[in-house]
Amino acid sequence: MPTYEYLCEACDHRFELFQSITADPVRVCPNCGRRKVRRLIGPGAAILFKGSGFYQTDYRSESYKKAAAAEKSASSSGGNGDTSGSGKKEKEKKKAKSEV
């Protein structure tokens, strides 16, 4: 749920409310009680996650990280570039067909 900022035009009281998107805007000022409150339009805040722990790769196990590093070094050192294992599967299919 978003936080909305309001301004009372009668007493210049600024306040924020944590409301549902579907909730009606507040019209009465909690400070002076007059019906001169308007919702301010903000700059459109973006969600910004800082630090570690916000990305999928932060939670990878050590064995996954080692395997990924080995795979990367193998493919960059002149391997066939097929990291999906589909080449092995194709060979197995051909062998199975030739045996039939």
Domain ranges within the chain, ordered by starting residue: 3-39
pLDDT band at 33 (very low <50, low <70, confident <90, very high): very high
Q: Is the pLDDT of residue 59 over 80?
A: no
Task: Say whether pTM exceeds 0.75.
Answer: no
pLDDT digits (tens, 9 = 90+) for 5-18: 999 999 999 999 98
DSSP string, 34-45: -S-EEEPP---P
CA distance 34 to 9: 9
Task: Please answer whether residues 39 and 52 qualify as being in contact, where contact means their C-beta atoms are separated by less than 8 angstroms.
Answer: no
Nearest in space to 56 (alpha carbons), one of 68, 72, 44, 46: 68
Phi first, then psi, for residue 7 (nearest 5°) are -135, 130
DSSP assigned state of 56: G
pLDDT at 77: 72
Q: How much helix, strand and coil, in percent to the nearest 5, is found in the chain?
A: 35, 15, 55
pLDDT digits (tens, 9 = 90+) for 70-96: 998 888 776 554 555 555 666 666 666
Greater pLDDT, 28 or 59: 28
CA distance 17 to 30: 11
